[in-house]
Amino acid sequence: MKIFLSGGAKNGKSALAQELAVRLAAGGKRYYVATMIPVDEEDRLRIRRHVADREGLGFETLEQGRDLPACLELADPAAAFLLDSLTALMMNEMFHDGQVDREAGERCIRDLTAFLNTVENAVVVSDSIYSDAGRYDEITELYRRALAALDCAAAELCDTAAELTAGQITIYKGELPQ
């Protein structure tokens, strides 16, 4: 089963995703695919919090800030995967080596499709940072559009698509495992 979770920051997505991945693993192997490449102390603190939150849950962490399918070379595709997050993955792919990669969105969709078509169970997390009515500079808009397209692809590829808002779950497609 594949589950897509989206929503705003600090709405409980990561905690729910961890719980769902543990359920999907059914006592078996589970991987946490960590996509954030830290750039400052705030990022490192967030990573430490996420690691502490996963403590005792049996996740093996796979650091994969770019080239998502590469993590499958080190993992059992029959395991349960928690991919956190598409937001960071898109940022890493689009903004690297001091350049803006305008093809990153399409590549991320291809990579996510390959990943999800390979694994049996996955929970994919993203932040819906593109849903406000603000107007931004060209590069920010490029990123927001690319992330929105990636999230749409994830929702289409997954069996279940849900959003968390203020701690409340809205299921748009499928159902969550019990």
> Strand pairing of 80-84 and 121-125?
parallel
What is the structure's pLDDT at 131? 81
> Strand pairing of 160-165 and 168-173?
antiparallel
Report the alpha-carbon distance of residue 31 to residue 80 in Å, rounded: 6
Number of H helices and number of E strands within the chain? 5, 9
* Helix (H), strand (E) at residue 76: none
- Helix residue ranges, H only, the chain: 13-25, 41-54, 86-94, 104-118, 138-157
Report the alpha-carbon distance of residue 102 to residue 177 in Å, rounded: 37
pLDDT along the chain (178 residues), means of 10: 93 92 97 94 89 91 96 96 97 96 98 98 94 90 97 98 93 96
Q: Distances from the Cα of 113 to the Cαs of 68, 69, 147, 155, in angstroms?
A: 10, 9, 14, 11
Report the alpha-carbon distance of residue 155 to residue 138 in Å, rounded: 26
Whole-model pTM: value is 0.95
What is the structure's pLDDT at 51? 86
What is the structure's pLDDT at 124? 98
What is the structure's pLDDT at 129? 86
What is the structure's pLDDT at 10? 78
- Say if residues 80 and 51 touch (Cβ distance below 8 Å): no
Domains in the chain: ranges and CATH: 2-173 (3.40.50.300)
DSSP-based helix, strand, coil % in the chain, nearest 5:
45, 25, 35
Enter the tokens of residue 119: 């694994």
Altogether, the residues listed in the chain come to a count of: 178
